[in-house]
Structure 1
Amino acid sequence: MSGAARTIGVVLEMIRPEFPDISVSKLRYLEAEGLISPDRQQPSGYRRFSQQDVDRLLYVLRAQRDRYLPLKVIREELEAIDRGEEPPVHHPQPAEESSEPRQRAKRGGGSGAGLMARRQVLAESGLGEAALIQLERLRIIQPRRGSQLYGPEAVALAQSAKKLADYGVDLRQMRVLQQAAAMEAALVEQILEQYRRRQGPPPEVVRDLYRSVLQAHAALLHGQIH
């Protein structure tokens, strides 16, 4: 079957062992962004993926997962490959190192890099439209202040909400986690206040503080469960 065209359902089953959270909406989003181009000229109108389409899809997904590349950069690499050129080398940017620009975006500075549209949040997370609307009404997921764009934390929250819903958790119960996070954030802000009276907290202090709070949270949660 290596040369046969595959339906979107077959492709999902093929790549799900490597990418468990992959969804139809994610594939459609990548197609809308021009990163993959399955054949849609069939009489049925359904998408058909050749082996080349599957390889291209895997290239995109691995570049996101392993090298933390944004879609714009991945598109540049694919365009170079299509021209028969060696793609430009983009080194991976670990999530920890990339958090500072995202923090600047959260505070309103910078050019807004890392922000995304609503449809991208849905595509990246696999969450349904109705569930996202409910989370927005609960003020658990919201666009950045003064904007219609969402930060990367919106995708993480949407993914968690989807998984918890699969276990039968009502989305309204996400408020429990929100309240715990608000108390932890208040503690962090209180600790950082001493630095703000000077020249602001050094980035390494902020990272270490957040890491320590998250570590304590995970340990306390484990202790409560076990």
Structure 2
Amino acid sequence: MTLGAGAEQAPEPDDVPEPWPRGISRHASMRISEVLGQLRGDFPSVSHSKLRFLEEQGLITPVRTPAGYRQYSAADVERLRFVLAEQRDSYLPLKVIKERLAAMDAGEPAPGPVPRLAAPAPAEPSRRRWTVESVSEATGVSTDAVRSLVVAGVLRTSSGYLDASAPEIVRLAGRLAEHGIEPRHLRPLRSSADRHVGLVDQVVAPYRSQQTSDGRAHAAELAEELGELVARLHSAWVREGTAQLR
């Protein structure tokens, strides 16, 4: 059929712009725990529930496996990074951020500076092998102080290496030390945390024992969610107790 002089041809599917960010892989293969691991370097407080909330608000759309588990792509991670940066740096409400993303998805230039995509890290911090010396160098805390945390059981070692969370623990312990709280005072806190982990393990263990990738993925996601809920509950109790000391 011949189009009239004033008629416009409907755009072909190829004319539809690729959603932002363009040129980034959309192959969904990352579990939520892996996404959190990539984001927490810049956004330490990002959590399992935060990602679910952003999904509910339509800011990201992770793929669901046949078993219902979420999987994310590198493009999803960059959209999350953009949303979190806009909230933190520009104090924008989610409605405005969603409008910005929709405009960028449609091919319009971003209002304001174009978001800078994060350069891929050479290695995930959680996979780095930490030693007393490397933790001391990374945190600025003396090797003797780091060793005292190991001796007190506050830091754990495996095959001669410290846990992945060692730098964060050392920094926090250093802040507490400024107020006279020594490693021996932190031992009961570590024991309490171990009991919390044991409680989560009781719930997660049946899924972790399944010999399927979906079962293991669900175990990882459930452990992340339960760990966060337990930590938030503990934090609420501590805040409630300290509020009475004011």
TM-score by length of 2: 0.44
Task: Give the structure, 1 or 2, with the largest relative contact order (CA under 8 Å, sep 6 or more).
Answer: 2
Which structure has the highest helix share of the two? 1
**Bigger Cα Rg:** 2
TM-score by length of 1: 0.48
